[in-house]
Structure 1
Amino acid sequence: MQQTPQKLFELFDQGTEILQAALRSSYLDAMLENAENVIDGRVAVEDGVPDKKTVEQLEKLYQEMHLKDAPAETIRQVLQLSFLKVIRKDAIQANHQMTPDTIGFLMAFLIEKISKLDRPSTIFDPAVGTGNLLTTIINQLQQASAEPIHGYGIDNDPAMLEVASASVALQGLDVDLFHQDAINALDIPECDLAVADLPIGYYPLDQNTKNYKTRAQKGHSYVHHLLIEQAMNYLRPGGFGVFLVPSNLFQTKEAQPFIQWMHSVGYLQGLINLPAELFANQNAQKAILLLQRHGGKSKQAGKVLLGEFPSFKKPQEFSAFMQEIDQWVQTNLN
Structure 2
Amino acid sequence: MNFETIEKAYALLLENVQLIQNQLKTTFYDALIEQNALYVTKEAQDSRIVDNNQALEKLNLSAEEWRRAFQFLLIKASQTELLQVNHQLTPDSIGFILLYLLEELTADKSLDVLEIGSGTGNLAYTLLNNSQKELHYMGIEVDDLLIDLSASMADVMQLDAQFIQEDAVRPQLMKPSDVIISDLPIGYYPNDAIAKRYQVASTSEHTYAHHLLMEQSLKYLKNDGLAIFLAPNNLLTSPQSDLLKDWLHQAASVLAVIALPENLFGHEKNAKSIFVLKKQTDTPQETFVYQLGDLQQQESMLAFIENFQKWKTDNGQS
What's 1:93 paired with?
84
1:309 aligns with 2:292: yes
The AA in structure 1 aligned to 2:116 is: P
Q: Distance between the aligned counterparts of 1:101 and 1:281, measured in 2?
A: 18
Q: Distance between the aligned counterparts of 2:125 and 2:280, measured in 1?
A: 27
How many residues align structurally?
A: 316
1:138 aligns with 2:124: no
The question of whether the paired residues in 2 share the 8 Å contact of 1:108 and 1:137 is answered with yes
The question of whether the paired residues in 2 share the 8 Å contact of 1:27 and 1:89 is answered with no
> How much does 1:239 deviate?
0.7
**Which of 202, 205, 211 is the matching residue for 1:216?**
202
> How much does 1:89 deviate?
2.5
Alignment of 1:46-61 (within 5 A): 55-61=46-52
CA-to-aligned-CA distance 1:248-278 (integer Å, 9 cap, x gap)? 1111131112111112111111110012221
What's 1:268 paired with?
254
> How much does 1:66 deviate?
2.3
> How much does 1:188 deviate?
1.9
What's 2:158 paired with?
172
CA-to-aligned-CA distance 1:87-137 (integer Å, 9 cap, x gap)? 22223333321212122122112222213x334521011211111112212
More off after superposition, 62-71 vs 5-14? 62-71
1:199 aligns with 2:182: no
> How much does 1:281 deviate?
2.9
CA-to-aligned-CA distance 1:283-330 (integer Å, 9 cap, x gap)? 2210000000124xx8333x3110111113542132121221122223
Q: Distance between the aligned counterparts of 2:137 and 2:218, measured in 1?
A: 16
> How much does 1:68 deviate?
8.6
Question: Which secondary structure state, in structure 1, belongs to the residue aligned with residue 231 of structure 2?
Answer: strand
Q: Distance between the aligned counterparts of 1:139 and 1:229, measured in 2?
A: 29
Q: Which runs of 5+ in 1 are unaligned?
A: 44-51
What's 1:48 paired with?
none
What's 2:56 paired with?
65
Residues 1:330 and 1:120: Cα distance change in structure 2 (over 3 Å): farther
RMSD: 2.0
- Structure 1 length-normalised TM: 0.89
Q: Distance between the aligned counterparts of 2:250 and 2:110, measured in 1?
A: 23
- Give the % identical residues: 27
Q: Distance between the aligned counterparts of 2:277 and 2:238, measured in 1?
A: 19
What's 1:47 paired with?
none
Q: Distance between the aligned counterparts of 2:54 and 2:193, measured in 1?
A: 53
What's 1:12 paired with?
13
The question of whether the paired residues in 2 share the 8 Å contact of 1:151 and 1:176 is answered with yes
1:231 aligns with 2:221: no
Q: Which runs of 5+ in 2 are unaligned?
A: none
Residues 1:68 and 1:291: Cα distance change in structure 2 (over 3 Å): farther
Question: Which secondary structure state, in structure 2, belongs to the residue aligned with residue 290 of structure 1?
Answer: strand
